[in-house]
Structure 1
Amino acid sequence: MSSQAASSASSLRPVPFSLLDLASIVEGSTPAVSFRHTLELARNAEKWGYNRFWLAEHHNMPGIASSATSVLIGHVAAGTNSIRVGSGGIMLPNHAPLAIAEQFGTLESLYPGRIDLGLGRAPGSDQAASRVLRRGLGAGGEDFPELLSELRSFFNPQSGSANSIVRAIPGEGLDIPIWLLGSSGFSAQLAGQLGLPFSFASHFAPDYLHAALELYRGNFKPSGALERPYAMIGVSVTAADTEEKAKRLATSQQQAFLNMIRGRFGQLPPPVDNMDELWTPYEKAALNKQFGFAVVGDKAQVKSRLQEIISETGADELIIASQIYDHQDRLRSFEIIAEIGNELRAIS
């Protein structure tokens, strides 16, 4: 599909909005509080009409509590009724495929028709944590295609698994949607070749978005999972009732990234009035580049930019990520975004 064709198609059909949560731990708080906030956010997301609620695997990060991703997915699914819940994603090279098949087979058995399995090949951690996680599993993600094939064979033994003696119970025979996630061309191309849905992490790798989409769509082969490409775009959005407030709220995420490039990892800091007091000109330029695809503003500004993104990318779905210090401000941001999504779908 050409970019022009994708753009035209996107304006003729509704585009669902979904939500990506990291169970952020803000300064002075605890993982227990983060989990309560995550569930409250998921319940509101369901009420507001979001399509999916995904959680991402990260390790050794003091500000992120979603390390035991499958467990947290179960917590959210148990506390909601209809919204799809899944991983955005599980970093497959960190795990034995059988364990993931069993975990998600359990989740799908408990919450049928509501579980998504999004998979990535990055470690979701630093090198030290990656070495501990992947002990005996290999050093990197080079074997991701083989791990993916093994995982899929546990769900569908008729596909010619080498593990015919070992079965995933529960898991075997269950139809759990598998997504490939990525921030480069590797997973985009593989998702296309396998005919799987693809989600691109443009909220932290904006420069490669269009190239990855071209690779995905250009390599797409229809499969039992999909007849045509289905691309979900990750977008970082901070919305508030005024532009000024939205810009201030966004400084928490900016500070978190600033601390990361300085080699300091901590909990999500409160917003500040003036980032120029914290960063150097070089750091400011790096952050502006990193957040060049981020959307920050009031409802009208966010709506306009999201319309542009849908049109420019031909996205089939948007998944919204946001790191906001105050829980009530975060709820309000996602409520505004949901209102925008409902308005856009009403005129599609």
Structure 2
Amino acid sequence: MKNNNIPLSVLDLAPIVEGSNASVSFQNSVELAQHVEGLGFTRYWLAEHHNMRGIASSATSVVIGHIAGATKTIRVGSGGIMLPNHAPLVIAEQFGTLESLYPGRIDLGLGRAPGSDQLTAAALRRDRKSGGEDFPNQLAELRSYFNPDGTTRVRAVPGEGLEIPIWLLGSSGFSARLSADLGLPFAFASHFSPDYTLPALEYYKANFKPSDQLSEPYAMIGVNVIAAETDEEAEYLGTSIKQQFLNLIRGKPGQLQPPISNMDTLWSAYEKHAVNQQLKYTVTGSKESVKTQLKQIQEETQADEIIVNTHVYDQNARLISYQILADAWF
């Protein structure tokens, strides 16, 4: 029987768990990428974050190259590169290099948030007054390096003439509007910004203008998925990501914590509501539970693809979660 389910991909934040380090995180990422490649996942994306002790993927392009070099067929890319942190020429050269090394396998997902706090943004040489308002101009400049019109005196080598799919990432309506206007694929961060998901997707699909890159709208959403042999085990494993979001709400981000048996010992009623609301697009449970919940999200959002974040403390549990998800979906 033909499988009519939409494609699944992987979002890896390269988590540094309590008691570990970045070196182990990268080893885990390679192991996970090779694992999901064999399971049939479509792409493997890494996200740019800075000044966060629990996330190792700050030098995103470098990690993408490491993952691409350790895999053979899965697409590898950024979910995303925060363009305001960088000169567009540098990103064109970096991704031109990646595409030249791994032809036909590189995605360039772009966001306009700093991926950090304002002090870190300043340390990254960004204008302290910049809030991403110039993102459309930066994007136009970046695209011009891949497809020059013959007037530019600065050329991206490698990069020029390469067909690297550009995605726009968003957690509000801004990138939905820009993606629709430019005819680019759109990825929405539902896994941490659920409230704007449906309005953004509806606007994008209703206002999409075909382009040379894309003839029809194509929308991907982020979903947290934690699968285990039983619903109870999955709920237990899921307390790690709940602790992480609780710490973010409290302004104290840190390394990913081990699961605990009872979250009510940690949070207030208000904090519990806030965390659960932010994690609305989170699927937790056994094989059948995960399949049912994910199907419901697909039907609700009409997404064309789902990119899965599995933020659990134990590496083996993370591998098993993706195995169970694949068994349920593919």
> What is the TM-score when the length of structure 1 is the normalising length?
0.92
Displacement, 1:341?
2.2
Displacement, 1:134?
3.6
Displacement, 1:13?
4.6
Displacement, 1:285?
1.1
CA gap 1:154/1:135 in 2 versus in 1, 3 angstroms = same
- Distance in 2 between residues matched to 1:137 and 1:145, nearest whole Å: 18
- Distance in 2 between residues matched to 1:58 and 1:266, nearest whole Å: 13
Note if contact 1:16-1:341 (Cα within 8 Å) is conserved in structure 2. Answer: no
Q: Does residue 245 of structure 2 align to residue 257 of structure 1?
A: yes
- Distance in 1 between residues matched to 2:4 and 2:261, nearest whole Å: 40
Note if contact 2:13-2:46 (Cα within 8 Å) is conserved in structure 1. Answer: yes
User: Residue 246 of structure 1 is aligned with which of 222, 225, 234?
Assistant: 234
2:11 aligned counterpart, secondary structure: strand
Write out per-residue CA displacement over residues 180-236 of structure 1, whole angstroms, 9 at most, x where no aligned residue.
000100000100100000000000011111100011112200000111000011101
CA gap 1:301/1:141 in 2 versus in 1, 3 angstroms = same
Displacement, 1:136?
4.8
Q: Does residue 143 of structure 2 align to residue 155 of structure 1?
A: no
Aligned pairs (5 A) from 1:123-134: 123-134=114-125
Q: Which one-letter code corresponds to 2:245 in the other structure?
A: F
After TM superposition, what 4+ stretches of structure 1 lie above 3 angstroms from structure 2? Answer: 11-14, 134-138
Aligned pairs (5 A) from 1:158-197: 158=149, 164-197=152-185
Note if contact 1:90-1:119 (Cα within 8 Å) is conserved in structure 2. Answer: yes
Listed as ranges, the gaps of 5+ residues in structure 1 are 1-10, 343-348
CA gap 1:95/1:318 in 2 versus in 1, 3 angstroms = same
Displacement, 1:340?
2.0
User: Residue 64 of structure 2 is aligned with which of 73, 96, 121?
Assistant: 73
- Distance in 2 between residues matched to 1:64 and 1:254, nearest whole Å: 16
Q: Does residue 48 of structure 2 align to residue 57 of structure 1?
A: yes
User: Residue 309 of structure 2 is aligned with which of 314, 317, 321?
Assistant: 321
Listed as ranges, the gaps of 5+ residues in structure 2 are none
Note if contact 2:121-2:128 (Cα within 8 Å) is conserved in structure 1. Answer: no
- Distance in 2 between residues matched to 1:219 and 1:122, nearest whole Å: 23
What corresponds to 2:38 in structure 1?
47
Q: Name which structure has the greater RCO, CA cutoff 8 Å, separation 6+.
A: 1
- Distance in 1 between residues matched to 2:128 and 2:161, nearest whole Å: 26
RMSD of aligned Cα (Å): 1.4
1:234 aligned counterpart, secondary structure: strand
Write out per-residue CA displacement over residues 113-166 of structure 1, whole angstroms, 9 at most, x where no aligned residue.
0000000001111121112114358622000000000000000002x76xx000
Q: Does residue 268 of structure 2 align to residue 280 of structure 1?
A: yes
What corresponds to 1:113 in structure 2?
104
Q: Which one-letter code corresponds to 1:254 in the other structure?
A: K
Note if contact 1:131-1:139 (Cα within 8 Å) is conserved in structure 2. Answer: no
User: Residue 90 of structure 1 is aligned with which of 73, 81, 89?
Assistant: 81
Displacement, 1:251?
0.3
What corresponds to 2:19 in structure 1?
28
For structure 1, which segment, 286-295 or 100-109, has the greater mean C-alpha deviation from structure 2 after superposition? 286-295
Displacement, 1:292?
1.7
Q: Does residue 196 of structure 2 align to residue 216 of structure 1?
A: no
- Distance in 1 between residues matched to 2:136 and 2:327, nearest whole Å: 39
Write out per-residue CA displacement over residues 12-58 of structure 1, whole angstroms, 9 at most, x where no aligned residue.
95411000000000000000000000000000010000000000000
Q: Which one-letter code corresponds to 1:146 in the other structure?
A: N
What corresponds to 2:91 in structure 1?
100
Write out per-residue CA displacement over residues 79-109 of structure 1, whole angstroms, 9 at most, x where no aligned residue.
0000000000000000000000000000000
- Distance in 2 between residues matched to 1:93 and 1:219, nearest whole Å: 25
- Distance in 2 between residues matched to 1:13 and 1:97, nearest whole Å: 38
User: Residue 320 of structure 2 is aligned with which of 329, 332, 337?
Assistant: 332
1:301 aligned counterpart, secondary structure: helix
2:110 aligned counterpart, secondary structure: strand
CA gap 1:231/1:12 in 2 versus in 1, 3 angstroms = farther
- Distance in 1 between residues matched to 2:188 and 2:6, nearest whole Å: 16
Q: Which one-letter code corresponds to 1:120 in the other structure?
A: G
